[in-house]
Amino acid sequence: MFDPAFSRGVAIVAGGSGGIGSAICRELAQAGSDIVFTYRSNAAAAEHVSADIRAAGRTAESFPLALEDADATAAFVRGVIERWGSVHSLVYAAGPKLEFAYASAIAPAEWKRVMDVDVNGCFNLISAIVPYLRAQRGGSIVSLITPAVDRYPVQDILSAAPKAAIEILMRGIAKEEGRYGLRANSVGPGFIDAGLGHDMLARPGYEEFAEGLRKGLPLKRFGTAKDVANAVVFLLSSKASYITGQSLSVDGGLQI
């Protein structure tokens, strides 16, 4: 549904070409927002998302960006402000590809890679954008995390650990910057049949495992990218203007 709050300035979506990030871009466009999104390397997927945004009657810009490069990320944000004047929303929907592994089996180099891409990448983006949001006296940030920060599944440390850091970063921004009109929240997708979640659920030989997961969910179905996108857009919207520092699990009841 169209939200007047999205008609001024632009939304930035980091990771907008991914399975969930692209759905967030589409829902924001339907709600009336122009969108600047980043992607890591898949230019074809980025162009497809841009076409969908334009088909909804909104403007789309896409940029390849390695968020762990602090200087490049700051330059990207400066460019967006110079072109658009203001940013009403920021979504962090990026993150590295990773595998399930026991914590004791993870090589230090792999741990460092994941932390650099995810935690440092998110921090670099937040660090670059907050001064502008503070100066314009408002804005909303949503980061995607995981329900695993509260209910840890075995071998999921490479996902849970960085997302726990990102969740605390969002709470810190909410508490420290609320006086300037900034809101910051998190959304934790559960088992979602999109992006990395789809890759996991569709692995050959995982059919019995996936069916067991589905049956264990109170809603008896896996989530969709749109389920997550709807929650993100709500938290960014004027309907959530008194919600900040919160984490919302979109998990079909997994946390119960």
- Structure token pair of residue 128: 């670059």
Tell me the pairing of strands 87-92 and 35-39. Answer: unpaired
Give the pLDDT confidence of 64-105 residue by residue, as tens digits.
Answer: 999 999 999 999 999 999 999 999 999 999 999 888 899 999
- Confidence (pLDDT) at 1: 67
- 221 by DSSP, 3-state: which? coil
Q: How many CB atoms lie within 10 A of CB 86?
A: 15
Is the Cβ–Cβ distance between 122 and 68 less than 8 Å?
Answer: no
Report the C-alpha gap between 69 and 138 in whole angstroms: 26
- Confidence (pLDDT) at 173: 98
DSSP state of 117: I
Low-confidence ranges of the chain (pLDDT < 50): none
pTM confidence score: 0.93
Report the C-alpha gap between 35 and 229 in whole angstroms: 14
- Confidence (pLDDT) at 202: 66
- Confidence (pLDDT) at 241: 96
- Confidence (pLDDT) at 244: 98
